[in-house]
Amino acid sequence: MMSLMAGILSLLSALIATSDALSCTVCRASTPSLCFGFDVICPSGQQCGSKYQESTIDGITTTVFQRGCTDPAQCNAKSSLTLQNGHISIVLSCCGTDSCTPTIPQLPPKSSTPNGVVCRACRSETSSWCYTSDTLQCTGEENMCFLQTEEVTGGVSSSEAFRGCGTKSHCDFGNSLEKNHGSLIKVSVFCTNDGDALWCVKCTSDSSSCFGIGEDCPSGYECGSTYTETTVDGTTTASLLRDCINPTRCGIKGSISLQDARINMAISCCNTYACTPTIPALIPKSSNPNGVVCRVCTSKTSSWCYTSDTLQCTGEENMCLLQTKEVTAGTQCLMEPKDHKRQPQYYKWQVMPQACLVNQCLRPNTTESADWINRPVRSPS
């Protein structure tokens, strides 16, 4: 229980710092009347702040009062959390003159009015992760679901995690890293307004499998696998990326052919907790010409290239593309995704959204340049 309280306090301790500008008293006690300390010079721009926290866990109420240097963006902030076995309220007040004494902030009343948000609720005292089917009906201004983790390293090592309902202001406090009596305390807060948000593994690999840590996804996202095979001068390499993914990208497949290389990519998804998306099947390379001819070139020193060299496109690669990167550029044949409106999202690098660039696509058996955009080039009838 003490470690849970330490996690909450260390999360907010970033608000109580020291350096140069205003002179403020720094102290910590169970009540304001017992808070006596020493003056420090605060970082420039910070104010003198008072923070008051009341925690009721398993029916036992404790209070903590702190004074110190505070980021003015956090002044007058009010935060509350509801856990499976308790409730925590935190308030801050500030003043902006040298050696001033901030007023004692007043805790807001606990609301019992449901707000329609339902969050998962759990706690682990031995790990920086917890997940459960248990839920909490959120009330009042606690309209965010949060996962808070604490990892202590150094003199004493420990890990803890808990989920529940919280106010957006608690999420806005963000992460913190604090040194305390020889230990390093890292507190991380992840928030969403959807209690059913998925948890997915995040990893990268140069093969068809990868292992990594899990993370809570943004609301509405799914677990995705992006698989890529790149063939250059006859040598093929593979890469796999697993992460939370916007479902509009699920199922997209595409390929690019250059003079001496081919890139083939596909995305698969699944939408259950901690699921593992299958390795998506790539579109096989076709040798059947489709009537589209594209200019083909590469520049390693410019974001533009142009040439009279052409490439006869095959299979479903029925689009001509100019692709730019920070240090390279090229035009090549491109397979149009099933929904080409998703194309700019699909590629990790910058892709110009035009399906066929002006003066870059040649009709077969002619030297006439196409002057249309956003549609495949086809053979003249």
Give yes or no for residue 371 having a pLDDT over 80. Answer: no
Based on the domain organization, do 376 and 261 belong to the same domain? no
Based on the domain organization, do 11 and 83 belong to the same domain? yes
Alpha-carbon 233 to chain mean position? 36
Categorize the per-residue pLDDT at 46 as very low, low, confident or very high, splitting at 50, 70 and 90.
very high
Based on the domain organization, do 213 and 270 belong to the same domain? yes
Based on the domain organization, do 40 and 168 belong to the same domain? yes
The answer to whether 102 touches 52, Cβ cutoff 8 Å, is no
Q: What is the largest CA-CA distance in the chain?
A: 91
Lowest mean pLDDT among 60-69, 227-236, 299-308, 327-336: 327-336
**What whole-number distance in Å separates Cα of residue 274 and Cα of residue 272?**
6
Based on the domain organization, do 274 and 172 belong to the same domain? no
Q: Once rounded to an integer, what is the mean pLDDT over residues 23-48?
A: 91
- What digits encode the pLDDT tens for the residues 136-153? 999 999 998 888 888 888
Based on the domain organization, do 221 and 202 belong to the same domain? yes
> Which residues have a Cβ under 8 Å from the Cβ of 38 and sit 6 or more positions away?
25, 26, 27
Single residue among 262, 285, 308 that ends a domain in this structure = 285
**What whole-number distance in Å separates Cα of residue 216 and Cα of residue 171?**
14
Based on the domain organization, do 110 and 207 belong to the same domain? no
The answer to whether 110 touches 63, Cβ cutoff 8 Å, is no
Q: Which two tokens stand for residue 251?
A: 């199922």
Q: Torsions phi, psi of 15, nearest 5?
A: -80, -15
Based on the domain organization, do 115 and 144 belong to the same domain? yes
**What whole-number distance in Å separates Cα of residue 7 and Cα of residue 190?**
14
Single residue among 177, 192, 207 that ends a domain in this structure = 192
Lowest mean pLDDT among 99-103, 174-178, 204-208: 174-178
- Total count of domains within the chain: 3
Q: Which two tokens stand for residue 72?
A: 């003015």
Based on the domain organization, do 242 and 336 belong to the same domain? no
Q: Once rounded to an integer, what is the mean pLDDT over residues 309-320?
A: 87
pLDDT at res. 52: 92
Categorize the per-residue pLDDT at 334 as very low, low, confident or very high, splitting at 50, 70 and 90.
low
**Global model pTM greater than 0.85:** no
pLDDT at res. 298: 80
Single residue among 236, 260, 285 that ends a domain in this structure = 285
Based on the domain organization, do 183 and 217 belong to the same domain? no
Looking up residue 226, the CATH number of its domain turns out to be: 2.10.60.10
Based on the domain organization, do 213 and 281 belong to the same domain? yes
Based on the domain organization, do 281 and 324 belong to the same domain? no
Domain region containing 247: 197-285
